[in-house]
């Protein structure tokens, strides 16, 4: 299951995100999303956990938990909505 983790402190690294979730079971990946130009964290990330019951437990335990003074938003990731290509200019 892919898990969305929002409202992350900007200083959090991929390894710190992995450490938070590793106590709940096996992880396939953990990534903090960064701006492609500046490299600065965008304040959210994704964690992939192959076992859905472990993922559900992690979501319930970590949603609205405190991390470095910020209340995390943790839920099952939803697919991105399709967006039209191009700027619409003629």
Q: Say if residue 83's pLDDT is above 70.
A: no
In Å, the largest CA–CA distance within the chain is 53
Domain carrying residue 30: 2-63
For residue 72, being part of any structural domain is answered with no
What does the pLDDT read at residue 82? 72
User: Could you report the per-residue pLDDT of 2-38, keeping only the tens digit for each?
Assistant: 999 999 999 999 999 999 999 999 999 999 999 999 9
* Helix %, strand %, coil % of the chain (to 5): 20, 30, 50
Q: What is the CATH number of the domain that holds 31?
A: 3.30.70.330
What does the pLDDT read at residue 86? 63
For residue 74, being part of any structural domain is answered with no
User: Could you report the per-residue pLDDT of 29-82, keeping only the tens digit for each?
Assistant: 999 999 999 999 999 999 999 999 999 999 999 999 999 999 999 999 998 777
């Amino acid at each position: 299951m892919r898990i969305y983790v929002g409202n992350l402190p900007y200083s959090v690294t991929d390894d710190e995100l992995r450490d938070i979730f590793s106590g709940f079971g096996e992880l396939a990946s953990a990534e903090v999303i960064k701006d492609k130009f500046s490299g600065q964290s965008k304040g959210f990330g994704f964690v992939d956990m192959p076992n859905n019951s472990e993922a559900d437990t992690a979501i319930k335990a970590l949603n609205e938990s405190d991390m470095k003074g910020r209340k995390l938003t943790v839920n099952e990731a939803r697919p991105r909505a399709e967006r039209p290509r191009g700027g619409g200019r003629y």
